[in-house]
Amino acid sequence: MPVAKRSIAVVKKTDAPPRRRASPVPPKFIEPQLCLLAKQAPSGPDWVHELKLDGFRMAARINAGKVQLLTRTGLDWSEKYPATVAALKKLKVESAYLDGELCGIGPDGMPDFGLTQQATDGAKAIRLMYYVFDLLYLNGEPLAFLPLGDRKARLRPLLKGIAGCRYNAHEAGDGEAIRLRQCDLGAEGIVSKKIDAPYTPGNRGIWIKSKCLNRQEFIIVGWTDPEGARSALGALLLGYYDDAGGLVYAGRVGTGFSDKLLVDLLKKLQPLEIDHMPLAAPPPKRGRGKPLRPATTHWVKPKLVAEISYMTWASDGLLRHSVFVGLRADKPARQVRREG
């Protein structure tokens, strides 16, 4: 595993965009523009909307044929993603500074955070796509002070025909209608941006992210031991019945609990503990999150039903971004099926 090196930050958090100043080389690092989380997407003629991507925020610095991939904190991760570096070398530029999201792509063609993590950990056969949504510097010219619309107009033609890189397009219109449509398609959400605003490192407000969440019941099939300062239990293991009556693993949930709730849940689960896995097939060894360890995993009779909110399903059949909502005593476990 290569040792990550921190680049020197020359554009820092500020309430104003970087000053327009010519330079023969791009900045070593530009702190990324940030997003404000909102429940609904904004609308109006000043806003455009992009697909929210499930990967790693990554800047690409190109100078005299050398490509660096920089994390949102300025770490140089170029050696982790040689295929993406090779793709960016094909851009017909002398120098540039791009902002985007690096994503592993699942069999369904959608970004998959678990695959991105596997690629970062050294897995080789992972398809990566660098989605580029901003251009801050090009061939000696700083561009961050320009309106977003102008920056994107100059970015799009640079990426045409570059395999492994893709322009993250936007659309105008009713932001909430766009968000709901993307939610129906299984997307994570959208990011709404003011089309006439400059790039402002660290600012939250002229970019707004609104997510998609789903909710349904799952059967609690086990729990894991707590780690660190966590009390009682670490996460609940979830499942559902398929049409053949098999109990299918759906992933885990480790958020949405108070300390008291963790204790109460453990008291309910301990009398149900069994010495064998109740699932029809074992959980995948690779995928989202850490693999389950037998020494810290407890299986239970599939009796308790929990309501869970979640972003969507990953390509490996596990829940993404799940949150515990509460126990459901009004629905028998045998009736729990995967919805949608």
Catalytic residue ranges: 52
Buried b (16+ CB within 10 A) or exposed e, 144-167: bbbebeebbeebeebbeebebbeb
Q: How many CB atoms lie within 10 A of CB 204?
A: 13
Cα(124)–Cα(81) distance, integer angstroms: 10
**CA-CA-CA-CA dihedral for 17, 22, 25, 26, to nearest 10:** 10
Give Dmax over CA atoms of the chain in angstroms: 70
Judge contact between 179 and 298, C-beta under 8 A: no
Q: Rounded CA gap, 69 and 99, in Å?
A: 10
Long-range contacts formed by 152-157: CB under 8 A, 24+ apart: 155/98
- Give 63: exposed, middle or buried? Use CB within 10 Å, 0-12, 13-18, 19+: middle
Q: What is the C-alpha R_g of the chain?
A: 23
Burial class (CB in 10 A: 0-12, 13-18, 19+), 329: exposed
